[in-house]
């Protein structure tokens, strides 16, 4: 949901910070690694029930995630290696956050509720995978109500409320995130399915016409009308011979 004009404006806003960090000798990979360490600390804070600290850390975790790209552009080092590392570390950060939530819920009166963060992680991973796979096939799969930025914001707000009103607010937040993430996964699946179906329908149409704009019936008719000259001559000679024999009787 934040992809597009909002993301573009935010990236412009952090460009000066990226230049400052690059001049200070900070590499984009180091910024990405800091984000993972902050996510790990946030996971520990959630697991131990320190929700206010966790809320601060989860919001701060998004800062390195936004700055690594700015530093890479400032250093003219943006490329597939950095994009791959960033994507892998994003999944790792998500796993650390949800693992912390699962650890905390496993120690409550309803330990089975620990499956909720696990299910949320599966749904979130599916959302990310669908976009990656779709783009590798040449399709577009952006959009949805609960992308990664929205998950960070929702989790941060839920942790902040839980620190004041109790852990039940965290459970409700996780349920809301899970529902909206599943909706996003279904939305992306349908979006890519429509694109892929259109491509397949076009390929089938080309296969039926053979690429020459003719269907099978028209092609057979054209073959019948394009008989070899030698075959026509042979048939003509056979008819002439039959007439000669009838006249000779």
> What are the DSSP calls for 26-67, one per residue?
--HHHHHHHHHHHHHHHHHHHHTT-HHHHHHHHHHHHHHHHH
Token couple for 76: 């003219």
- DSSP letter at 147 equals -
**Quick check: is 90 catalytic?**
yes
CB hemisphere CA count around 32 (13 angstroms): 20
Catalytic residue among 86, 90, 94, 215: 90
Token couple for 13: 């806003």
Count of beta carbons in the 10 Å neighbourhood of residue 225: 7
**Can you tell me the distance from the alpha carbon of 50 to that of 162, in angstroms, rounded to the nearest whole number?**
10
158, 173 Cβ separation under 8 angstroms: yes
Residues annotated catalytic, as ranges: 90
């Amino acid at each position: 949901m934040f992809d597009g004009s909002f993301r573009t404006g935010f990236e412009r806003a952090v460009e000066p910070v990226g230049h400052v960090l690059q001049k200070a000798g900070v590499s984009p990979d180091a910024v990405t690694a800091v984000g993972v360490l902050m996510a790990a600390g946030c996971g520990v804070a959630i697991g131990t029930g320190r929700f206010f600290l966790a809320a601060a850390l989860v919001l701060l975790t998004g800062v390195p995630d936004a700055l690594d790209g700015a530093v890479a552009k400032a250093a003219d080092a943006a490329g597939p290696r950095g994009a791959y590392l960033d994507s892998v570390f994003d999944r790792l950060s998500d796993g650390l956050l949800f693992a912390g939530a699962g650890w905390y819920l496993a120690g409550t009166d309803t330990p089975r509720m620990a499956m909720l963060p696990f299910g949320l992680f599966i749904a979130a991973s599916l959302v990310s995978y669908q976009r990656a796979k779709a783009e590798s096939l040449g399709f577009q799969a952006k959009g949805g109500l609960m992308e990664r930025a929205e998950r960070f914001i929702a989790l941060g707000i839920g942790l902040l409320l839980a620190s004041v009103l109790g852990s039940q607010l965290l459970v409700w937040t996780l349920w809301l995130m899970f529902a909206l993430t599943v909706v996003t996964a279904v939305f992306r699946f349908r979006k890519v399915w429509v694109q892929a179906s259109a491509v397949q329908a076009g390929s089938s149409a080309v296969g039926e016409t053979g690429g020459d704009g003719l269907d099978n019936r028209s092609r057979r008719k054209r073959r019948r009308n394009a008989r070899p000259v030698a075959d026509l001559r042979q048939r003509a000679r056979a008819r002439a011979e039959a007439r000669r024999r009838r006249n000779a009787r």
